[in-house]
Amino acid sequence: MVARLTPEQFEALRQVDSPTISNAIEGFNVRPHVAGYAGYDIRCAYPELGTMMGYAVTCTADSTTESRPRSREGLLKLWEAVAAAPKPVVIVLKDIGSDRLHSCHMGEVMATTARKLGAVGAVSDGGLRDVNEVRALGFHYFCPGFTVSHGNPLIVDVGMEVEVSGLVVKPGDLLHGDVNGLVLIPEAIAARVMEEVEAVRQREAAAMAEIRAAADPIAKLREIYPHH
């Protein structure tokens, strides 16, 4: 299922930073506190582009197995899935090759095609490339790093559950990412997250104001922090 948001709800969430989104999700107790976000190896390549937000189209990819025969069938299936998916799309590429450090799963041509079909960014636990050209497209990259060669590229399969740096993603999942990292917004609460965002902002603003004004900061912190 895809999170059903109005354009106004979607845009409101996109204007919020990812840590605040993460904090707001915690208020619903729908998943463990240590789940639902990617590790720090998945980095935002273009912080200047702001927030990336969209519905996942997933695939597995291999660019480091020399013996694999080249085929465009998987790539065409990926493009068909992007075209058919709710917009905007975030493409999630899971590396399944033999040498992830030398993998490369997208460059300028693929990013241009993805953009044309309604994608706004790509997430991969493998490498990506054509850094300057893709930045110029306004297309987001979230990945561990960059690799100069596309190797022996292949999209293996499309439309399954994948895991990227500890984040489990299914087709249609709503992803939200910025310079702080990448978080998944659960479908069941997506339409209510903004309410909790405002509550988080108010609580944090009040706490910071009290800390700034405190004559004895440690005593004030003892008041603010819950006692267990």
Domains parsed from the chain with CATH numbers: 7-195 (3.50.30.40)
Residue 1 has pLDDT above 50, yes or no: no
Q: Strands 174-178 and 52-62, how do they pair?
A: antiparallel
Residue 134 has pLDDT above 70, yes or no: yes
Tell me the HSE value of 24 on the side-chain side, using a 13 A CA sphere: 26
- pLDDT of 127 reads 98
Separation of alpha carbons 53 and 145, rounded Å: 20
Separation of alpha carbons 47 and 41, rounded Å: 15
Q: What percent of the chain has pLDDT over 70?
A: 97
Q: What is the pLDDT confidence band of residue 227, given thresholds at 50, 70 and 90? A: low
Q: What is the pLDDT confidence band of residue 222, given thresholds at 50, 70 and 90? A: confident
- pLDDT of 223 reads 83
Separation of alpha carbons 102 and 69, rounded Å: 18
| H or E element, residue 201 | helix 193-213
Separation of alpha carbons 124 and 220, rounded Å: 43
Write down the pTM of the prediction: 0.93
How do residues 41-76 score in pLDDT, each as one tens digit? Answer: 999 999 999 999 999 999 999 999 999 898 999 999
Residue 157 has pLDDT above 60, yes or no: yes
Q: Specify whether the CB–CB gap between 150 and 62 falls below 8 A.
A: no
Separation of alpha carbons 47 and 193, rounded Å: 23
Separation of alpha carbons 31 and 188, rounded Å: 11
Residue 160 has pLDDT above 90, yes or no: yes
